[in-house]
Structure 1
Amino acid sequence: MAVGQADLHNHTTASDGTMSPAAVVARAKAAGLAAIAITDHDTMAGVEAAIAEGKKLGILVVPGVELSTVADGRDIHILGYYPDWHNEQWQERLAGLRTTRGKRNEMIVARLAELGIPVTMQEVEQIAAEQQALAGGSKSKGKTIGRPHIAELLIRKGAVATMTEAFDRYLAEGGSAYVNPPRLHPFEAIEWIREAGGTSVIAHPGLYGRDDLVELLIHKGVQGIEVYHSDHGPAEEKRYTELATKYGLIMTGGSDFHGERQGHVFHGEIGSRTVDISVLDQLNKKL
């Protein structure tokens, strides 16, 4: 039986991370982890390269994804582990989510222009391409562009000084350029993951401020809760441990690593939040 710790929430240049899938796996190995999950937003484009690097380095790579959904006007993220990422229907569904994400980006850019900040989607795409090139990433299809890329552009334009300021002033909920168009409902995301043979987990529930929605998702069949997260403190860990125990759910954890921007690691360093590798046996239905 494998022993060690697993960080089950990490992003790469396949979405809005700053490090290539191979580099993220290497960083996990250097941190002494036994396993790491790649959970990019609405895409699994980085999984294959990560698995290949994991085999070279002797670290287990868990195929995953983080689906962007909305319930009651609130962004909710659902993690999916071990879905059949070669399944055609699954890939078509992920492509649809990326189309919606692209429209959201365009709406944000338009809102920024209305606020007197001249940015274009071409410039945002250039930021993403530059970061991909710096990370040594491939140009394969299926990658996503997100708000961190827009935030980087705002810094370059001199509109803000830091990533935190970009989100606080413009891009996060309550920000002046924040938009939240109709998107996939988390009930559907849970079903999609199930149909793809995967296991669904509520990502960072402490960020939502809506435990009523968390319990609703539990009653609708979600299989796990991300108890340990970089933005969870002891109170959140205790609350969600109790909730998971009450309903017999899988308890997961991860750093939500996105790489470094301006010398700061977002959200947390790889390995800063982990669970025992035995949790993988619960997540992988094929074992």
Structure 2
Amino acid sequence: MNHLDLHVHTTASDGMFSPKDVVKMAREKALHGIAITDHDTVDGVEEALKYGKESGIMVIPGVEISTVADGQDIHVLGYYVDYTDQAFHARLREQREARQRRNVLLLKKLEDLGVRITMEEVLSKKKDQTGNAGRPHIAEVLVEKGVVQSMNEAFDKYLGKDGAAYVTTPRIRPEEAIVFIRQAGGIPVLAHPGLYQDDKLVNDLAKAGLGGIEVNHPDHDERMKLHYTQIARRFGILTTGGSDFHGERHGSMYHAPLGTCFTDLETVEKLAEKAGE
């Protein structure tokens, strides 16, 4: 089956499974390959590449960079990045520092709402203590403390963009992430645009150098998929797909099981050809 899941998280950021384990899962699901796209880090790529080679699973080195535009988080995926590039590592380190500042402000906002959890509790939820913490780790604590009944409720009530504790911190704009990814030899793709509900942003980023738009995503309905496919065609850029796999926490799958959404091999080969242009 020539299907590749191009949006996969590991314990290097806020995923539940190690890079080795997600490669193993990809093989069990008969996927042709996966892209490792952890938040603001490429630390899981080398391990995945190693086990991908041993398992006959194509592994694409990638990243998901967190940016901010007009007061909301915008994520830019990068494929075929040079994960050994030290300048790229330095930029990603700055991104992780911004993420940590966001976490501190988020916990303060929760406390202002009468919900007190500590950073130590959040960090204890990381599967890999070298990985960076994210909102799913905070959501886990909220569930375990009985503040909410599920991960979905944690995001709906507190942590999502319409949640009472949602906060953004100064970060790079998505246009800068596009440049960073290009400079690292990669190709930038806008992640899950349906979550932003901002067509002007999508169009502006397409003009700014996007190589593709993630159309096939578990949070996109058929109308959204058609809409973003049409935008991609208008700008002559590629359409991709991925499950945004993190794994299951407290009975909730965030966002979808591995392989639920995918990209065909022909498109992946085009991504490789255009990387670094």
The TM-score range, normalised by the shorter chain, is over 0.9
CA contact (8 A) 1:198 1:285 kept: no
Q: CA deviation at 1:168?
A: 1.0
What is the identity percentage for the equivalent residue pairs of Structure 1 and Structure 2? 49
Whether 2:231 is the aligned partner of 1:277: answer no
Which of 205, 209, 228 is matched with 2:216 structurally?
228
SS at structure 1 position matched to 2:163: coil
State the partner residue of 1:135.
none
For the residues of structure 2 that align with 1:78 and 1:104, how far apart are their CA atoms? 18
State the partner residue of 2:80.
82
State the partner residue of 1:26.
24
State the partner residue of 1:206.
194
The one-character-per-residue Cα deviations of 1:104-154 (angstroms, maximum 9, x if unpaired) are: 0011111112222221111111121xx33xxxxxx5x4x211000001011
CA contact (8 A) 2:34 2:60 kept: yes
Q: How does 1:160-175 map to 2 (within 5 A)?
A: 160-175=148-163
Which of 2, 8, 11 is matched with 2:9 structurally?
11
Which of 206, 215, 233 is matched with 1:245 structurally?
233
For the residues of structure 2 that align with 1:233 and 1:76, how far apart are their CA atoms? 19
Whether 2:74 is the aligned partner of 1:64: answer no
Q: CA deviation at 1:286?
A: 7.9
Q: TM-score, normalised by structure 2?
A: 0.96
For the residues of structure 1 that align with 2:175 and 2:206, how far apart are their CA atoms? 10
State the partner residue of 1:126.
124
Which of 244, 248, 272 is matched with 1:256 structurally?
244
Q: CA deviation at 1:47?
A: 0.6
Q: How does 1:103-182 map to 2 (within 5 A)?
A: 103-128=101-126, 131-132=127-128, 139=129, 141=130, 143-182=131-170
SS at structure 2 position matched to 1:9: strand
For the residues of structure 1 that align with 2:250 and 2:118, how far apart are their CA atoms? 22
**In angstroms, what is the RMSD of aligned CA positions?**
1.4
User: Which runs of structure 1 show a deviation greater than 2 angstroms over 4 or more consecutive aligned residues?
Assistant: none
For the residues of structure 1 that align with 2:219 and 2:155, how far apart are their CA atoms? 16
For the residues of structure 2 that align with 1:202 and 1:181, how far apart are their CA atoms? 20
SS at structure 2 position matched to 1:284: helix
For the residues of structure 2 that align with 1:116 and 1:16, how far apart are their CA atoms? 25
Structure 1 runs not aligned, ≥5 long: 133-138
Q: TM-score, normalised by structure 1?
A: 0.93
> What amino acid maps onto 1:158 in structure 2?
G
Structure 2 runs not aligned, ≥5 long: none
CA contact (8 A) 2:188 2:210 kept: yes
SS at structure 2 position matched to 1:15: coil
